[in-house]
Structure 1
């Protein structure tokens, strides 16, 4: 049996805004999309390393212009909404956003060691047992917060190795909330289609 939505709560979430950065400033921070600053790519775009005017090193997640259909744009808007409202030591922090014409980007906390996937499968890193346990505990703490500790229950829907990032101390951070679902109280209000990676989508 379907449950009614709570539009007042959903509208409050959609009304949350991010600090903004201009396209020109962001372009300068990324050295004009320099290949040297390219960090990787995902389902909806690419990620670049950037240095803001104040010297802060950041990661810039740029939405692919070829994917500016309703679903991708909505995914970007949802990620802005979710990452602005949540605060936890094991969740990647959003710093600001940029939206200029067909250009959309999120400016995120930079993770110098990259993803857990890279650390597990590249020859340049070796995770010992204690580091692996710390990473698992960090991810579990973040999920506990998303499910029970935040003002609204949030289900990530696409948790996988490439969406777990590591800082210089090997602390784990969950990232990429573009397809997450916000569950308001006991009511499930899916703000985007389920587009998760097969094998990692929560049932």
Structure 2
């Protein structure tokens, strides 16, 4: 993957380290119009790398950098670099330059399930059919089964909710 201002991501022990400058370029300097939402420890932005790859960038808020938040950041990197499943979002890389703590994920174009369940009228979205709801529930169950029992190491999610379930299409 080649990205921004002549800088390329660096691969270290299987994890992709992405420079803050590349992520600033991809998100238009973390512009308000690039904001997708607010996550557990920061703001999530939509971005696009120079090669056209669409990404979701979770940037830890500087005021949220506590020991607990740093532990969660490290834990998310640790878990998501060990698991790969079609029903789990992929961690593409991260940045830890200076005080920055940023996670980079594959972009999910339809956003969070909560948008489609609770805010579909305001967002002018089509309501989810019962068949689609059932398919989503089955996919979530398959992802949880993988994390809890089928992965090389078992992981417990602990925060399963509609705002943490992202839809591809």
TM-score range, shorter chain: 0.7 to 0.9
Of 69, 72, 81, the match for 1:72:
69
- The residue number in structure 2 matching 1:130 is 131
**Aligned pair count?**
154
In structure 2, distance between residues paired with 1:17 and 1:68: 25
TM-fit CA distance, 1:16 = 6.1
Q: Name structure 2 gaps, 5 residues minimum.
A: 1-11
Q: How does 1:111-130 map to 2 (within 5 A)?
A: 111-122=108-119, 123=121, 124-130=125-131
Kindly indicate whether the alpha-carbon contact (under 8 Å) linking 1:117 and 1:161 is maintained by their aligned counterparts in 2: yes
Q: Distance between the aligned counterparts of 1:36 and 1:85, measured in 2?
A: 32
Moved over 6 A (4+): none
Structure 1 residue 67: deviation in Å?
Answer: 1.1
Q: Tell me which of the two structures has the higher relative contact order, counting C-alpha pairs closer than 8 angstroms and 6 or more residues apart.
A: 1
Q: Secondary structure, in 3 states, of the residue corresponding to 1:66?
A: helix
> 1:84-116: per-residue Cα shift (whole Å, max 9, x none)?
110100000011111111101111010111101
SS at match of 2:103: strand
Structure 1 residues without counterparts, runs of 5 or longer: 1-14, 169-203
Query: When the two structures are superposed, what TM-score results if normalisation uses the length of structure 1?
Result: 0.74
What is the root-mean-square deviation of aligned Cα atoms in Å?
Answer: 1.3
Q: Is the 8 A contact 1:49 1:58 kept in 2?
A: yes
Taking structure 1 as reference, are residues 134 and 27 closer, same or farther at Cα in structure 2, changes over 3 Å only? Answer: same
Instruction: Report the TM-score when normalising by structure 2.
Output: 0.88
User: Helix, strand or coil: the match of 1:47?
Assistant: strand
